[in-house]
Structure 1
Amino acid sequence: MSAPFKLYMTGDLVLDEPEADFFFDPVRAMLAEADLLIGHVEVPHTTRGEESVGDIPAPASDPENLRAVGRAGFHMVSLAGNHVHDRGAEGIEDTIANLADQGVATAGAGLDLARARRPGLMTRRGVRVGLLSYNCVGPKEGWAGPERAGCAYLKIITHYELENANPGGPPKVYTFADPDTVEAMQADVAAIRAQVDLLVVAFHKGVVHTPAHIAMYEKAVSRAAIEAGADIVIGHHSHILRGVEVWRGKPIFHGLGNFVTVTRALTAEGNESPERRAWAEKRKVLFGFEPDPDYPLYPFHPQAKNGMVAACHLDTNGVLSPGFRPIWTAPTGQPQPLGPDERGQAVADYVADISRQAGLKTEFAWDGERVVFAAADSH
């Protein structure tokens, strides 16, 4: 019997430091196991353009840093996110061209909306894989239009409802996806479904720096993608892991967290940008955490050191086995692969715990170096 087809998917890639290859070194062997590897590039890599408006812009990264993505073995990347437009059309154009020159397929951003909604396509070992990518978190200034560069998107509506006799007190937060944009996403899924064997939909979604929490809209849009024909749904943006579930037999990774995410832009000390320095201070108050001072390139929630690489196996009968490889981010900013030892078990337990806190009914078990999961009521 031939070996299963291995599809690996990682969290955010933010390569703001020189000699970016260094950060991938501990995980190269694990990544090389994948027949196809997908990541998410968070920021534009360009020397052109001006900083955009509408959100706290991330600094553009050196185009040379992006070359580390191809050398790490990535075949495809999603681009739809809240920072891809931070250097306007030039940043998007240069980032896509850089990746294309490395042979890396992209999805989720383009010089107009039609191109941003176009799927990335790749065939490996005879398996045809499609990738679609959508930004759910704004800002709307970064959304692509008929003649405007930007990202593919789902519009999310937020409503705050006070549910007790305490004006100004904590409200319940309701979030909904605009039906028109959900239907457009589902149309994209349906249009590519017959042309691929595996279809991955990536959403930039969730509340940043907040352990376990999954907002109301996240389950709805993820399940809508599967109902339209997606095989796997993955999430990025929160910069911390989210739980996993199986919906109608298909896996949803609600947040893959960070992978190689090295930056000084979110550090208050020595930050030359007043806007980014103010945000670095404000987010500590808003989200109630203090970055670990021993992690100068990784200024995230302490729980964000827990990580995963989604690892899905497709057997010769076309049956998909969802799972993940636990990882841990070291003080150097390098993700380190873990196996079924004490450290790996701690990360696996963390994923099980945040899944349970989010109300996801999922069962977990080790299968070699991989943690596999299934719906708790599937047996």
Structure 2
Amino acid sequence: MTNCLRLLLCGDVMTGRGIDQIMPKSVDPILFEPVVQSAKEYVTLAERRHGSIPRNVEPDYIWGNALPLMGAMASDVSIANLETAVTTSDDRQLKGINYRMHPANVACLQTAHLDVCTLANNHVLDWGKDGLLETLKVLRGAEIKTTGAGIHLKDATTPAVVPVGERRVLVFAGGHTDSGIDPRWEATARDPGVHLLRDFSSRTLDGIALAVKSLRRDDDVVVYSVHWGDNWGYDVPEEHRAFAHALIDDAGVDLVFGHSSHHPKGIEVYRNKLILYGCGDLINDYEGISGYEAFRPDLRGMYFPMLDYRGELERLDMAILKARGFALHQPAAGDVDWLGDRLAEVSRESVVGIRSRGANLLELRKPP
């Protein structure tokens, strides 16, 4: 596998609200949700289900068993969708649910050695434009590259560029309104915001293609991160599938990294390029929330695709973890089998097979 690159793709990393409250320095826990008025209550709800959760935790606590797996898999570039503002801003947006993490806790992202945080999502401006600007400043100060949101449109649409030897990985990001992004959050030539995908039209695709082709070198690998769709459910809208195919066919994208759903969704290998329609949440404070048990949202995945020199998929390994006590733990074998079977079922249309590799690893089998 000479000249291959291994990536690590994490779905939504939501380090605000209850997660923030167990860290050494937290923002004001006040919330303005219909039922919950304090972020501390999410800690209490989780403790009722799984027992006591420590406070003043070390930066590596929330990653738990994920960190040794990250080390063992030795990825060249690590990418996560950070669905939380990193700010002390009090400019609450009137949207019902608002996430923020104290900037002092950015070490919890550094300890995972994340190279890139994509920010085109429906929570990065929860605390206003000042909150976004502080988020950008804190992440860049922590030497974590960002894309998908910025101080203006050009900044938001500029990819994160990660050198790997003589090659580069280019990470672009956009978010669609069907994930809940407020259209008023769109970055403009003068105003900060997110790279908003208002539709999946040829005009939208042409803009992405122009940006990719103006920067791409022959040996680059291009990842397009897209925040789209509903939080729950396995159905992939036909317009999502068509857009993902067009990103590969017409825009020069090698891997489509989708997220927004709170649980893993189907996988496709299209023209030997990987499409992840929904990577699920990796870190959140949802343990005490009931009503969605059928989706097993406590099971979390980290995706480790290996790409060849053309950006084509050589193999995909998935490490499965189980959330408990706001940390990631080794799951039972039955849990891993359940998720593998479920992913195989919802990916069946794409002729993708998934099998266990033992321990907590799943392996994707490409179509013939």
The TM-score range, normalised by the shorter chain, is 0.7 to 0.9
Give runs of aligned pairs for residues 111-260 of structure 1, distance below 5 A.
Answer: 111-137=151-177, 138-156=181-199, 177-194=200-217, 197-210=220-233, 212-227=234-249, 228-260=251-283
Q: Which amino acid counterpart does residue 290 of structure 1 have in structure 2?
A: G
After TM superposition, give the deviation of residue 7 of structure 1 in Å.
0.9
Q: Which residue of 2 aligns with 1:94?
A: 134
Larger CA deviation: 177-186 vs 63-72: 177-186
After TM superposition, give the deviation of residue 51 of structure 1 in Å.
1.5
Q: Deviations over 1:106-130 (max 9, x none)?
A: 1100011111000001113443111
Count of residues paired in the alignment: 321
Larger RCO (alpha carbons 8 Å, 6+ apart): 2
* Alignment TM-score, normalising by the size of structure 2: 0.79
Superposed CA RMSD in Å reads 2.6
CA distance in 1, matches of 2:310, 2:218: 18
CA distance in 2, matches of 1:234, 1:318: 14
CA distance in 1, matches of 2:3, 2:218: 23
Q: Which residue of 2 aligns with 1:160?
A: none
Secondary structure of 1:121's counterpart equals: strand
Which one of the candidate residues 84, 100, 107 is aligned to 1:60? Answer: 100
Q: Which amino acid counterpart does residue 110 of structure 2 have in structure 1?
A: G
Change (3 A) 1:24 1:263: same
Change (3 A) 1:317 1:179: closer
Contact 1:40 1:79 in 2 (8 A): yes
After TM superposition, give the deviation of residue 348 of structure 1 in Å.
1.5
Change (3 A) 1:353 1:59: same
Q: Which residue of 1 aligns with 2:48?
A: none
Give runs of aligned pairs for residues 326-365 of structure 1, distance below 5 A.
Answer: 326-336=319-329, 341-356=333-348, 359-365=349-355
Q: Does 1:105 align with 2:97?
A: no
Contact 1:261 1:333 in 2 (8 A): yes
Contact 1:24 1:335 in 2 (8 A): yes
After TM superposition, give the deviation of residue 31 of structure 1 in Å.
1.4
Contact 1:11 1:39 in 2 (8 A): yes
Contact 1:321 1:372 in 2 (8 A): no
Change (3 A) 1:336 1:232: farther
Change (3 A) 1:67 1:213: same
Q: Deviations over 1:206-254 (max 9, x none)?
A: 11122x1112221122112112111110111111111000111100000
Which one of the candidate residues 304, 308, 311 is aligned to 1:311? Answer: 304
Q: Percent identity?
A: 22
Secondary structure of 2:70's counterpart equals: helix
Change (3 A) 1:354 1:121: same
Q: Which amino acid counterpart does residue 246 of structure 2 have in structure 1?
A: A
Q: Which amino acid counterpart does residue 341 of structure 2 have in structure 1?
A: D
Q: Which amino acid counterpart does residue 262 of structure 1 have in structure 2?
A: D
Contact 2:118 2:148 in 1 (8 A): yes
Q: Deviations over 1:82-135 (max 9, x none)?
A: 111112221111112211122111110001111100000111344311100101
For structure 2, the residue ranges without an aligned partner over 5 or more in a row are 24-56
Change (3 A) 1:182 1:316: closer
CA distance in 2, matches of 1:213, 1:21: 34
CA distance in 2, matches of 1:305, 1:216: 28
Contact 1:41 1:78 in 2 (8 A): yes
After TM superposition, give the deviation of residue 60 of structure 1 in Å.
2.0
Q: Deviations over 1:62-94 (max 9, x none)?
A: 112332111111111111011111122211111
Which one of the candidate residues 44, 54, 66 is aligned to 2:85? Answer: 44
For structure 1, the residue ranges without an aligned partner over 5 or more in a row are 157-176, 268-288, 293-300
After TM superposition, give the deviation of residue 331 of structure 1 in Å.
2.4
Contact 1:14 1:260 in 2 (8 A): yes
* Alignment TM-score, normalising by the size of structure 1: 0.77
Contact 1:30 1:337 in 2 (8 A): no
Secondary structure of 2:231's counterpart equals: coil
Secondary structure of 2:324's counterpart equals: coil
Q: Which residue of 2 aligns with 1:84?
A: 124
Which one of the candidate residues 54, 65, 68 is aligned to 1:26? Answer: 65
After TM superposition, give the deviation of residue 46 of structure 1 in Å.
0.4
CA distance in 2, matches of 1:214, 1:320: 21
Q: Which amino acid counterpart does residue 364 of structure 2 have in structure 1?
A: V
